[in-house]
Amino acid sequence: MARGTTRRRLLGRAIAAAPAACLLSPATSLLAAPAARAQPQSDADLLTNALAVQQLEVYAYRRLLASTALDGDAGALVTHLLALEVQHAAASGTVPSGPADLATADRELARHPVAGRLAGTRSQHDCVKLLIDLESVAEGACYAAIMELSDAGVARLAAEVMSSEAQQWTLLDQLQHRDVIRAVPGPFVEGTK
Amino acid sequence: MVTPETSRRGLLSASALGILLLAGCGGASGGRRSGQDLSTLPAAPRAHDAAILNSALDREHELIAAYTAGVPLLDEPGKLAAEQFLGQHLAHAGRLAGWIKRARAEPNKPLAAYPLSQPRTAGEMLATLHSLEAAMITAYLAAIPQLSPGKLRADTASIVANEAQHTAVLESVLGRAPAPLALVTGGG
């Protein structure tokens, strides 16, 4: 059996346990009332949170790639990284849909420690900075999920995705600063919450 | 076979000291936000975790030896990166040693020498380091499902993600396409 198929089944099995409302609204578990959030999260809830960030990343990469802000090198890198993000988001056939429009995406971004907004991003520097911040959020979402996931196989898969997000963070930072030391700043990657 | 040379002895001594210092830090910060603390696990899973972590520590020791031997062979920017990565592997080893102590086991010590290949050029050295990093990623990913669930798994993943950053930079320096796969397995 193909490895990708196995992964899809693994994620699908975990997400199949999620309530339908949770899958229809990617932000459901993040926006839940405090009392509800105090309950232990299921593997499906945890994955839904992480996948919502993946979908936001896909939207942001596509949006910034369509702008005229990126030069040749930056455009080539962002195109490659978008392909990786699409594969992350497609790892499950039951992924909730991403932001419907720019305003929704920017509202989603505002809930995370991301300084920029898609609507106001004009320069290449600002585009890459926004993507770096978003990669940190994706790392943090995976890290938080792994901490709570009960399915060992899904925890491993989340670690594989998290490692890819870390690589993307590094490549974007290298593009931005041309500094190999800065691009791998610390020995432990936990992202941002 | 790579054996420590006089010029490397100082670096390795510093490495050993760094591990000891960092082991203390790891032990102090070993409390779990999620899952049970290593020190309070029942004996069997605690010993199981310690054995897995010691296996990872052995590989970190090998990478530390490889980077220590490799740095003098490298030019910029590979040299800068390798020096940075050496420090990060020392931090990984220190964290692992701290966890192993919390599991009430003894961290494995580095071997006197490691059977590494004999790279002659900077490119060969970088390729050797990349292969070792990739093997390390594969080993960590295999370990994650075997470890007790909770913070230990997440913090192990935080080490794997750093190793993945190392491979991406080494691929760039080697002129390869960096980060070719969406899921990092170490086997790509």
Contact A159, B163 (CB under 8 A): no
Give percent of chain A with pLDDT exceeding 90. 64
What domains are defined for chain B? 6-173 (1.20.1260.10)
B157–A143: do the CB atoms touch at under 8 Å? yes
* Cα–Cα distance, B64 to B33 (Å, whole number): 30
With 60 as the cut, is the pLDDT of residue A17 above it? Answer: no
Structure confidence at residue A10 (pLDDT): 58
**pLDDT above 90: residue A98:** no
Question: Do residues A90 and A137 make contact, with C-beta atoms less than 8 angstroms apart?
Answer: no
Distances (CA, A) of B174 to A16, B18, B65, B72, B169: 43, 29, 21, 17, 9
Structure-block tokens of residue A191: 């992202």
pLDDT for position A9:
59
Nearest chain A Cα distance for residue B89, angstroms? 7
Distance from CA of B77 to the nearest CA of A (A): 7
Quote the CA–CA distance of B63 and B85 in Å, as a whole number: 10
Residues of B in contact with A170 (CB under 8 A): 165, 168-169
Would the pLDDT of A35 be above 60? no
Distance CA A64, CA A128 (A): 9
pLDDT less than 70: residues of chain B: 1-36, 188
pLDDT for the residue A88: 87
Q: Name all domains of chain A by residue range, CATH numbers in brackets.
A: 3-20+42-91+99-183 (1.20.1260.10)
Q: What is the pLDDT of residue B158?
A: 98
pLDDT exceeds 50 at position A13: yes
Whether residues A159 and B80 touch (CB distance < 8 A) is answered with no
**Do residues B93 and B139 lie in contact, with contact meaning Cβ atoms separated by under 8 Å?**
no
| List of chain A residues whose C-beta atoms are within 8 Å of the C-beta of residue B160 | 159, 162-163
Segment A141-187, tens digit of pLDDT: 999 999 999 999 999 999 999 999 999 999 999 999 999 999 999 99
pLDDT in tens, A43-87: 888 888 888 899 999 999 999 999 989 999 999 999 999 999 999
List the one residue out of B116, B106, B127 whose CA is nearest residue B173.
Answer: B127
Asked casually if ipTM beats, i.e. exceeds, 0.95, the reply is no
Q: Which residues contact B133 (CB under 8 A, 6 or more apart)?
A: B63, B163, B166, B167, B170, B186
CB nearest to B183's CB, from A81, A161, A184: A161
